[in-house]
A and B are shown apart, each in its own frame.
Chain A
């Protein structure tokens, strides 16, 4: 999913003369930077878990007396007695071979565990992103167009209210109102099958969306107000073009650059917020997995999920940069322009 965005951007632009090579060079350079960045992040996380107090094998055995030979065997299995750099080396070598190792809790392949949990998190994040961008841009546009009216103030207030309350608080509120009082939505679990899942994830997706929607609403509103004041809008009005056409065909497109920048932040914010929301709504997603793995010092799982999250954040940023050129072809990349 994540990899598809830049390549789509690249295909869309390659038809224009001069854009193709520069975009390819840009993407290649960015991907080349991504690898050392990921290495740095994975090393940092590994080091942090290493210096944190606690012991992964202890949480396996709980508050019980343990068998020394088994303890030693488990430690050897996960190279826990080796020096820190050797442990990291083992992990890195596995990753290079496409293997994220075996979780200490449950002794299962980390890739399988992530595969089990990925679906819920992707569904939740996509649903939430669609809500934020769709509803956020629409509300921002309406607020800009009705600038100074009660509607404008109501939309801005709603945005501020949403961003002021953390996703898990909004979550509990929505859970109580729509789950407990009104019985419209289920209050736990991820659902089975597409429609059931969408039904189960509606409240968590809204909880997540409301907490970041204000960013999109305010940026869209500010950008559109600026655009609406420009001469070409006055000219278009003078030519007798309909408000709808002016808004959607000209103003909205020209206002989208800051919105796209914000969209990158929003998507990353949603994925980060999913960690809390998954716990509130009892969803077995990647966020809940990461929290659990950290509590139990399950190093391979922590490394696996953080690697995935970091790769995702880096790819989203790359995708945002590529999407700029689709919206505004005047933007060129890197040294070709300079």
Chain B
């Protein structure tokens, strides 16, 4: 490229300045012309490849990274995380409990058969039937009926108004299967590879090892840039790094943020990061001593060095959390700068301050401190490290906190069973960007019981009432007002102790680019979102 420019410059040495600029301008277009070229093949590593590619039985981000290129839902998330058209070219809310999806014409599955409204109905009904045991069933809890009301129209009726259902047709829970395949018990195995309407079709699948996709010529949307994409399972973090260094893989997803410096040091790799919309938090059981005491909860809230943790663990790739919701998750309700300004007004401000923490503890019913054991999953890259910092700080104010390291399953089962909760650490990543999602999970009384995420057993009638407004009312202004009140109360009462909002990152060979990498990389056809040669 540089040589070409030099030659050109020599050729145009005598022409005017304007001409020179115009020629340079012509050349500036060259890279994008190159980017339009098809790439023969790309290999991406995933920490694991599932045993089945049938999403209802293997609901994991890694299944999504593969299947989002093969299957599509009626809707999709845009680069701004907002809902956009996909199989449905438009959708309309007839009334707060009825949504109609109008399908595009001429869409075909990978085997050439046409997509019909019946396929969408069958997919939704599959998730809704308890007998199928779909792992995504909870996304359809609010649905009363789903019907094909015309050959190109699907109508969903909800039991009650529910703003969050709107996102279901856009993520993995909405990926459409061919109706006939859903009846096949072997779907998802190498013998019966799931068909989809996406830009790619499955060509080869060796469970737990690799998957090969091939671009479709008859795809309804833009022409895929990459002809073949293969996914290779490399569970070991250092092995993934070495494979990238050797050039054996072109990209990999779900980097541990703490490893980012090592990835950047490889030289031939670009690290692409985006806000994950995830959150790390502590829950404190309001229903039992010692955390039923507001002063104890505030003492804990003052003892978390959020900025220190973001610098030490995330190397700056994240943000200290001042509330449960990351600002970007308010998309569609409030712009993120307004959210930040609102968070700044929340009182009290629990910035790290051990003096205030000590003072709060002194006012509590436990001025001499107490013992507490906090379970942490060793599978999570940050939990144990976060707790090491938190427990040290707590010890300084007199709370004798201990970390109990367990495997992921033990940790989560204990949490979700609401079994002697005390203080817990939780990491949560959303499936869609809605401001009411996290508060409904962590602040509503309905979830303050076994199988619910409200590990603080936080119950507040006003919060419940406001959450009802935020969940049932589609008007952004009304939702914003309701949710602001929720966050004010939650902050005052220390419903949870937010820690940080981490970024999500992927690594890609320097010769390629991926402009559409977002928090929902596993629910969108990432290779169709600005992937190409630089």
How many Å from the CB of B159 to the closest CB on chain A?
13
Partner-contacting stretch, out of A101-109, A155-163, A313-321, A322-330 = A101-109
Interface size on B, residues (CB 8 A): 59
Could you say which of B209, B232, B410 has the most chain A C-beta atoms within 10 Å of its C-beta? Answer: B209
Interface pair B242/A187, CB less than 8 Å apart: yes
**Per-residue 0/1 for B205-220: is the Cβ within 8 Å of any A Cβ (1 yes, 0 no)?**
0111110000000000
Give Cα distance in the complex from A37 to B238, angstroms: 40
Which residues of B sit under 8 angstroms from A65, Cβ to Cβ?
A: 138, 441, 447, 451-453
Which residues of B sit under 8 angstroms from A281, Cβ to Cβ?
A: 236, 239
Chain B stretch 459-512: residues in CB contact (< 8 A) with chain A = none
Interface pair B50/A55, CB less than 8 Å apart: no
**Per-residue 0/1 for A223-249: is the Cβ within 8 Å of any B Cβ (1 yes, 0 no)?**
000000000000000000000000000
Interface pair B235/A288, CB less than 8 Å apart: yes
How many Å from the CB of B278 to the closest CB on chain A?
10
Measured CB to CB, the nearest residue on chain B to A283 is: B209
Chain A stretch 295-316: residues in CB contact (< 8 A) with chain B = 295-297
Interface pair A70/B134, CB less than 8 Å apart: yes
Among A52, A176, A279, point to the contact of B236 (Cβ < 8 A): A279
Which residues of A sit under 8 angstroms from B234, Cβ to Cβ?
A: 188-189, 282
How many Å from the CB of A243 to the closest CB on chain B?
46
Interface pair B412/A67, CB less than 8 Å apart: no
Which residues of A sit under 8 angstroms from B235, Cβ to Cβ?
A: 279, 282, 288
Is A98 in contact with chain B by the CB < 8 A criterion?
no
Interface pair B232/A189, CB less than 8 Å apart: yes
Give Cα distance in the complex from A59 to B441, angstroms: 18
How many Å from the CB of B220 to the closest CB on chain A?
31
Among A71, A180, A189, A296, point to the contact of B209 (Cβ < 8 A): A189
Is A64 in contact with chain B by the CB < 8 A criterion?
yes
Is B413 in contact with chain A by the CB < 8 A criterion?
yes
**Per-residue 0/1 for B190-213: is the Cβ within 8 Å of any A Cβ (1 yes, 0 no)?**
000000000000000011111000
Given that A106-B52, A279-B235 are known contacts, is A53 also in contact with B406, CB under 8 Å in the complex?
Answer: yes
How many Å from the CB of A331 to the closest CB on chain B?
44
Partner-contacting stretch, out of B87-95, B243-251, B327-335, B520-528 = B243-251
Given that A73-B133, A183-B246 are known contacts, is A62 also in contact with B59, CB under 8 Å in the complex?
Answer: yes
How many Å from the CB of B177 to the closest CB on chain A?
15
Which residues of A sit under 8 angstroms from B245, Cβ to Cβ?
A: 180
Which residues of A sit under 8 angstroms from B137, Cβ to Cβ?
A: 66-67, 69-70
Interface pair B409/A189, CB less than 8 Å apart: no
Chain B stretch 39-59: residues in CB contact (< 8 A) with chain A = 45, 50-52, 54, 57-59
Which residues of B sit under 8 angstroms from A74, Cβ to Cβ?
A: 133
Give Cα distance in the complex from A107 to B59, angstroms: 12
How many Å from the CB of B74 to the closest CB on chain A?
21
Give Cα distance in the complex from A72 to B130, angstroms: 8
**Per-residue 0/1 for B50-71: is the Cβ within 8 Å of any A Cβ (1 yes, 0 no)?**
1110100111100000000000
Which residues of A sit under 8 angstroms from B409, Cβ to Cβ?
A: 53-56, 58-59, 295-297
Which residues of B sit under 8 angstroms from A87, Cβ to Cβ?
A: none
Among A64, A175, A176, A282, point to the contact of B233 (Cβ < 8 A): A282
Partner-contacting stretch, out of A7-15, A110-118, A137-145, A256-264 = A110-118
Is B311 in contact with chain A by the CB < 8 A criterion?
no
How many Å from the CB of B269 to the closest CB on chain A?
15
Is B370 in contact with chain A by the CB < 8 A criterion?
no
Which residues of B sit under 8 angstroms from A67, Cβ to Cβ?
A: 130, 137-138, 140-141
Which residues of A sit under 8 angstroms from B208, Cβ to Cβ?
A: 116-117, 284, 288-289
Interface pair A54/B410, CB less than 8 Å apart: yes
Interface pair B428/A175, CB less than 8 Å apart: no
**Per-residue 0/1 for A169-182: is the Cβ within 8 Å of any B Cβ (1 yes, 0 no)?**
00010011001100
Is B353 in contact with chain A by the CB < 8 A criterion?
no
Give Cα distance in the complex from A180 to B59, angstroms: 34
Interface pair B210/A58, CB less than 8 Å apart: no
Interface pair B59/A190, CB less than 8 Å apart: no
Give Cα distance in the complex from A296 to B207, angstroms: 17
Interface pair A188/B138, CB less than 8 Å apart: no
How many Å from the CB of A25 to the closest CB on chain B?
43
Could you say which of A105, A188, A190, A289 has the most chain B C-beta atoms within 10 Å of its C-beta? Answer: A188
Interface pair A53/B414, CB less than 8 Å apart: yes
Show 22 A/B contacts (Cβ-Cβ < 8 Å), sorted by A. A54-B409, A55-B417, A59-B412, A60-B135, A66-B451, A70-B130, A70-B137, A73-B133, A103-B51, A113-B207, A172-B238, A179-B242, A179-B246, A188-B232, A188-B236, A188-B243, A189-B209, A280-B236, A281-B236, A282-B236, A284-B209, A297-B409
List 5 additional A-B contacts (Cβ < 8 Å) besides A106-B50, A108-B189.
A54-B413, A55-B417, A71-B451, A107-B54, A189-B209
CB-based closest 7 A-B pairs: A54-B409, A70-B137, A106-B51, A67-B137, A284-B208, A67-B138, A69-B130
Which A residues are closer than 8 A to B by beta carbons?
Answer: 52-56, 58-74, 77, 103, 105-108, 112-113, 116-117, 172, 175-176, 179-180, 183, 186-190, 279-282, 284, 288-289, 295-297
